[in-house]
Amino acid sequence: MNKEILKKIGIEAIKYIPKGSILGIGTGKTVSYFIQQIQCIRHKIVGIVSTSMHSLLQIKKIKIPIFDCNFVEKIDVYIDSADEVNKNLEMIKGGGGALTAEKIVSYCSKKFICIVEEKKLVKKFKKFPIPVEIIPISYPLFCKEIKKIGGIPIHRKNFFTENGNIIVDIYNLKISNPESLEKKINCIPGVVTNGIFSIKKADLLIVGKKNQTIKIIKSKKIT
């Protein structure tokens, strides 16, 4: 982890925060550095919706109002990182277990900005498993269905989501069509959601490179 580049990623990201915004904020080390940077633009932010307790505690320290997602009409910008992301701005997220909240907040947001180090930008998804939040009673059925499509399901031991559910990490699945696989996994009974973000992908990707420069990749729908 390069602290200097994480700081630069955060500084770049705040350029995309309009005045009077309600922000959605994810979790992770890159996001943590972004939260540090928003102290200098507190006057532009109406409030923040957080997807995790870790980020929530950090936001409280900088004294920006915290909103419940259920009680906001809109979220202007959602800032979050990814485990892996490709040039089409599709990603694997949820390694920390907050994937359901992250997916809900991303859907509620006008713009989704993903912030990552260069090592997270990949041509093919292969390093990280696909995390899936499931209702505990569905575990045997879920494993059976995942094995049918070539996956190896591994229960994340001693871990419960903030919704009281369990996480199963899926290994060995080829992700040639992320959107199709996202839909297929979500159709298994008992699945809350999975960590493929393809149906609702990022609008903007900010990549911190090893040479200390920043690369911006925009969605085709953004001119």
Identify which of 117, 71, 96, 123 has the alpha carbon closest to the alpha carbon of residue 214: 117
End-to-end CA distance of the chain: 32
Euclidean distance between CA atoms 180 and 47, whole angstroms: 35
| Amino acid in position 39 | Q
Non-local (6+) Cβ contacts of 41 within 8 A are 14, 17
SS3 for 76? strand
Q: How far is Cα 169 from Cα 94, in angstroms, rounded to an integer?
A: 10
Longest dimension (CA), the chain: 52
Write out the catalytic residue numbers: 102
Q: How many residues does the chain have?
A: 223
Torsion from C-alpha of 170, 175, 178, 180, nearest 10 degrees: -90
- Nearest Cα residue to 186 out of 106, 108, 107, 132: 132
